[in-house]
């Protein structure tokens, strides 16, 4: 049973080896990676990894569909033989780490727990900044170990998921959060489960991109999401911009909605030994080691360059002044959601 992960990257070389090693330990057989406009050597690192057979690397430098960089890549991915031949497909980003709580923590264990599933939603668990100011060349999953609570009522984006789905013909194309281009004739045979082990209703088969509110979603599996990193890294990320919304800048608002450090969650540390064994093999490759070190140096130099510009200096100052996000009460979340629902039906 083969598992293929599809992703897009720009200037992520400093984090790439850890992410690959972790997901090989989880059970990913092959990675399909699209890169664009890299300045830190991510594309060179991917070329070398492709030569070693670790992954498929394609440059996605444009022109892009009107939907943007990410959807252009996913459209191309659907045509690749390695994707078409996969048994299971998952689209995810380099700041997302699969964290399976059942069995030995692999995809095989998750399938054993949900043998009838043809799609499994992996709900985000937001991991906050953990008070880290300076970028460190250390594993992300070790530095950032405080997250949102099991049940987070607001913002609704915190309940979004990525979908691990069977490549059985029900869906023809991968999407950012869920597969696309469904075959209506096959839809009745699709069986969706969430990461808590609950069978989901038919809305998830066609359009839902976020899990149910007000209940736990992580009993069997979760998707550890590290969207912020250290404050220095966030400034560099703001300079890069959002991969699927090139016209949207990253500011303090994005930070506040994701900087939850409410509870300690070290469950992902179960993968440390398996990850490190793979990571040590990758780092033993002199070319990869050199490219990693150069990417770390680039990231530090880029931050210093950006700090000479007022917008980025101001952003860094705001991050220093902003306390961790506090979960809102269920009542407050219901109040907000009520207006969101009204807005959907408003003639404005």
Q: What is the mean pLDDT of residues 282-290?
A: 98
Q: Kindly state the percentage of the chain with pLDDT values over 90.
A: 90
The pLDDT value recorded for residue 63 is 82
* Statement: residue 27 has pLDDT above 60: yes
The pLDDT value recorded for residue 245 is 47
Coil, helix or strand at residue 8: strand
Confidence of residue 18 (pLDDT cuts 50, 70, 90): very high
The pLDDT value recorded for residue 64 is 84
Q: Tell me how far apart the 2 most distant CA atoms of the chain are, in Å.
A: 61
Closest by Cα among 12, 51, 25, 84 to 243: 12
* Predicted confidence (pLDDT) per residue in 157-175, tens digit: 899 999 999 999 999 999 9
Q: Is 203 exposed, middle or buried (0-12, 13-18, 19+ CB in 10 A)?
A: exposed
Q: H/E element holding 121?
A: strand 119-126
* Statement: residue 247 has pLDDT above 90: no
Of 144-148, 213-217, 228-232, 279-283, minimum mean pLDDT range: 213-217
Average pLDDT, the chain: 95
Closest by Cα among 135, 137, 106 to 17: 137
* Statement: residue 246 has pLDDT above 70: no
Q: What is the pTM of this model?
A: 0.96
Q: What is the mean pLDDT of residues 6-17?
A: 97
Coil, helix or strand at residue 54: coil
- Yes or no: say if 230 and 134 are a contact pair by the CB < 8 Å rule: yes
Question: How many helices (DSSP H) and strands (DSSP E) are in the chain?
Answer: 13, 13
- Yes or no: say if 137 and 255 are a contact pair by the CB < 8 Å rule: no
Distance CA 37, CA 60 (A): 8
Confidence of residue 222 (pLDDT cuts 50, 70, 90): very high
Distance CA 84, CA 147 (A): 36
Asked if residue 63 has a cis previous peptide bond (ω within 30° of 0), the answer is: yes
Distance CA 194, CA 123 (A): 8
The pLDDT value recorded for residue 248 is 63
């Amino acid at each position: 049973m083969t598992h293929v992960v599809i992703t897009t990257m720009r200037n992520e070389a400093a984090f790439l080896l850890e992410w690959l090693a972790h997901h090989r330990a989880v059970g990913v057989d092959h990675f399909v990676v699209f890169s664009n406009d890299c300045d830190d050597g991510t594309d060179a690192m991917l070329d070398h990894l492709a030569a070693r057979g670790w992954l498929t690397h394609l440059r996605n430098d444009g022109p892009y569909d009107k939907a943007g960089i990410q959807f252009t890549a996913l459209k191309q991915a659907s045509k690749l033989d390695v994707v078409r031949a996969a048994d299971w497909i998952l689209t995810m980003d380099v700041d997302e780490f699969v964290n399976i709580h059942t069995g030995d923590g692999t995809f095989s264990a998750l399938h054993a727990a949900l043998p009838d599933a043809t799609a499994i939603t992996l709900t985000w668990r937001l991991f906050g900044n953990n008070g880290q100011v300076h970028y460190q060349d250390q594993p992300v999953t070790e530095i950032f170990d405080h997250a949102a609570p099991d049940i987070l009522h607001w913002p609704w984006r915190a309940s979004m998921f990525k979908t691990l789905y069977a490549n059985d013909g029900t869906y023809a194309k991968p999407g950012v959060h869920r597969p696309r281009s469904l075959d209506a004739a096959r839809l009745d045979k699709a069986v969706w489960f969430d990461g808590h082990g609950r069978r989901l209703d038919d809305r998830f088969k066609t359009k839902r991109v976020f899990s149910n509110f007000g209940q736990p979603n992580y009993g069997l599996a979760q998707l550890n999401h590290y969207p912020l990193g250290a404050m220095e890294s966030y400034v560099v990320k703001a300079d890069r911009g959002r991969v699927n919304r090139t016209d949207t800048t990253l500011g303090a608002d994005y930070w506040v909605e994701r900087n939850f450090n409410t509870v300690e969650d070290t469950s992902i540390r179960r993968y440390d030994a398996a990850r490190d064994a793979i990571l040590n093999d990758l780092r033993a490759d002199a070319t990869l080691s050199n490219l990693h070190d150069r990417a770390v140096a680039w990231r530090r130099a880029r931050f210093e360059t950006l700090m000479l510009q007022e917008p980025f200096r101001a952003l860094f100052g705001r991050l220093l002044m902003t306390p961790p996000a506090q979960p809102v009460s269920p009542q407050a979340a219901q109040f907000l959601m009520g207006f969101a629902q009204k807005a959907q039906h408003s003639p404005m």
